Amino acid sequence: MILPAIDLLDGQSVRLLQGNYNAVTVVDSDPIAQAKKINNAGLNALHVVDLDGAKSGLAANLKTILSIRQNFTGFIEVGGGIRTLAQIEQYHTAGINRVILGSIALKNPTLVRQAVEKYGDLIAVGIDGKNGKVATEGWLEQSNVSFETLLSAMIAIGVKHFIVTDVARDGTLKGPNIALLAQLQQQFVTANITASGGIAQMSDLVALNQAGIQDVIVGKALASGNITLTQLSELEE
């Protein structure tokens, strides 16, 4: 599954460089129109992040996300500051296909367990960080917990889907951290690991696929024109 990314900040679709809120580029002032373009290109999956929510813990861009859901045909996963069962229920009711829990997985694994027990496959965990350690609070804080430790703990409570991002690669167009992703996928064979961060060209998608990674999020490469929606659509066929 190829998932074009729509990252929302103040109601606009943007890209950050390495998660830096002070390094913002506006991709599209109308994210609903952007979602429609993705659909019209023949792509039927979206990765949506509420960047305001990632910092505040509130569903700051909920109205925009609901509008995207109403205008997009296909699979939508949403992440960014989702920290309560009530927020998960809100997205579930709205028809979101997968809800990504981030910082809360590290800080409140009990909530993740409750969410998995109630919602099953709806729940995914985003594991973001650099130098093998997990970052939290919209990447603003760095922990001492390794990717492997968090993955192992989340699998033990029933999580199957993981979005893994090497923050050092995100938005840089330097290529994904294939070694890290492949190692995690080989170590945790029951996990479905989605690659995020650093995708620069079509060959990166091929290399990830060869490394055993089936699902990939593409953001900056689309925004920069390095990869086109048409190319992604052709790869999906």
Q: Is the dihedral of CA 229, 234, 235, 237 positive or negative?
A: positive
State pLDDT tens for residues 69-84. Answer: 999 999 999 999 899 9
Per the structure, the complete domain to which residue 17 belongs is given by 2-236
pLDDT at 139 over 50: no
d(CA 195, CA 211): 11
CATH number at residue 190: 3.20.20.70
pTM: 0.92
Q: Letter for the amino acid at 217?
A: I
When pLDDT is cut at 50, 70 and 90, the band that residue 134 belongs to is confident
pLDDT at 171 over 80: no
d(CA 87, CA 58): 9
d(CA 197, CA 10): 22
Average pLDDT over residues 57-70: 92
Overall domain count for the chain? 1
pLDDT, the chain, mean = 91
End-to-end CA distance of the chain: 11
State pLDDT tens for residues 190-215. Answer: 999 999 988 999 999 999 999 999 99
Catalytic residue, from 7, 50, 52, 166: name it.
7
Q: Is the dihedral of CA 128, 130, 134, 137 positive or negative?
A: negative
Catalytic residue, from 50, 52, 128, 215: name it.
128
Does 170 qualify as catalytic in the annotation?
A: no
d(CA 150, CA 203): 29
Does 204 qualify as catalytic in the annotation?
A: no
Q: Letter for the amino acid at 8?
A: L
pLDDT, residue 172, reads 67
pLDDT, residue 54, reads 83
> 63 Cβ partners below 8 Å, 6+ apart?
none
DSSP 7-58: EEETTEEEEEETTEEEEEEEEES-HHHHHHHHHHTT--EEEEEEHHHHHHSS
